[in-house]
Structure 1
């Protein structure tokens, strides 16, 4: 079995490209700054490709506070404008920042 695996890896282009000796060293680790206040630093992501809900939402906007790891899951539509995102952020998340 070991011989079969070695032969497969030798013939596989992707396997050869991701080998450690073909990659540049990544360098020293850099510390991540820890926020001092909740909701001072956030991360955002979108979960797309969902089926429509009864309220015609098809995306979930995920906003996570990096300090407390609390997350907001906001259902949205894929065609929302930047102004709509700003209004949702203020109405759904800025309220928690004041608490």
Structure 2
């Protein structure tokens, strides 16, 4: 059964400011490298890094090719 909600100021969640362009896109900015791994294929190996992005939690970090991240964001290495 549903009940009436009683307002409590501690339930208010702060919203972070995100700069949005006129075409409703925004630039993702990598913050930190969390982990490293090497994906082994049949004839080659691909070094990967797990990247934490700004405005996202650690559970939403993504695996990116290390070489691409070195070119895009050398300050992280």
| Normalised TM-score (structure 1) | 0.29
Tell me the TM-score normalised to structure 2 length.
Answer: 0.34
Higher relative contact order (CA 8 A, sep 6+): 2
Higher Cα Rg, which structure: 1
